[in-house]
Every structure is written in C-alpha cells, then in structure tokens.
Amino acid sequence: MEEISPLTQVARPRRPLSIGAGAVVVHNGSVLLVRTIYGATKGRYLLPAGRVNLGEMPDVAAARETLEETNLRVEIEGLLGVRLWAMDDGEQNYFFMFRARLLSPVSDLRPNLAELDDARFFSPAELDALSSDETWAGAIAIVRKGLNPAATLWPNDATLRDDSVSADDRWRIWL
C-alpha cells in the first residue's frame, strides 16, 4: 500500500481566497467596537466587519456591515490598513480596514443580537483596559491609528478611472 504524504491530507479550504472589510467608526474621540457571539471571534471586541459580497467593493461592505451589526450609518473616509491572513485551512483572507465617520445619532446604536451581544463606543482609556482575552492586538492597533486625526488615510481616488472602466461602483484605487 502506498504511503500518503501528510501534505496530501491537508483539507482544502472552503474558498481559496476571501475578502473582508471593517470600519473604524470614530466619534468624539471614541471608537465603535462590537462583541460577536460565534466563530473564531466569539467573545472579543472587534471592528464591525464581515465578508465582502460578490461584486461588492470593500468600502461599501464596511459601511453595510456596520449598519447591519449596529444600526448605525457611516461614511467611509479612507483606507487605514489591510490585514492578510493565511488561515489554517489554506484560505487566504484579505481584510480591508477603513476609517468611518458616524452619520447616525449615537442613540440609534442597537446591536444585532443575532450576531452580537454588545456594541459600544470605547474611549482610549477603555481600550487600554481590554485584556487579550477580550480583543486582539491587531484590532487595537488599527483602532489607535483610526483615532489619530493625523493618521495617513488612503482615499479612494475615483478620478483616476478612465473610459475602460465603466462604473464608479466597480472601481477603487486607494493612494
């Protein structure tokens, strides 16, 4: 009987590539975090975020996920950073993190209880108080960058689009 290499026994990822997006929603010196109730992020405060739908732009997904998870409307100001993750099953995940400005009144905040058990704005002091069991270092790092008014943002420069790209909603270049 032929011996099977351990490399051939590795399960194939559900998807070889996935794209996610999240919003660093800044308001009055505080930032919005949500605590999920399932999956790898269960019980941790992170950005409102999720997977990008087929045909959807990441900035649009970040605003949509924020609304779905918290009932808050936001305007994306620019790209703060990108996280790449080679997951255990081989999937490559690209996660776009955007700074967003709150458009809704804070009083509209209502966590989607099908996904979350908490959603609230954290001051810098409250962020410092979160333990590694309550959040991830990467989430705190991007939140701190988002809270810095002088942080470098990569705005969407749609003006660089030409006639070969026909629709503004299908085009993004962050510079």
- pLDDT tens digits, 99-118: 999 999 999 999 999 999 99
Domains parsed from the chain with CATH numbers: 13-127+137-148 (3.90.79.10)
Burial 59-94 (b: 16+ CB within 10 A, else e): bbbbbbbbbebbebebebbbbbbeeeeeeeeeeebe
Q: Which of 44, 35, 45, 30 is nearest to 122 (CA)?
A: 30
Give the pTM.
0.86
What is the C-alpha to C-alpha distance for residues 51 and 142, in angstroms, rounded to an integer? Answer: 18
Q: Quick check: 6 pLDDT over 80?
A: no
Mean pLDDT of the chain: 89
The residue written with tokens 């942080």 in the block is 151
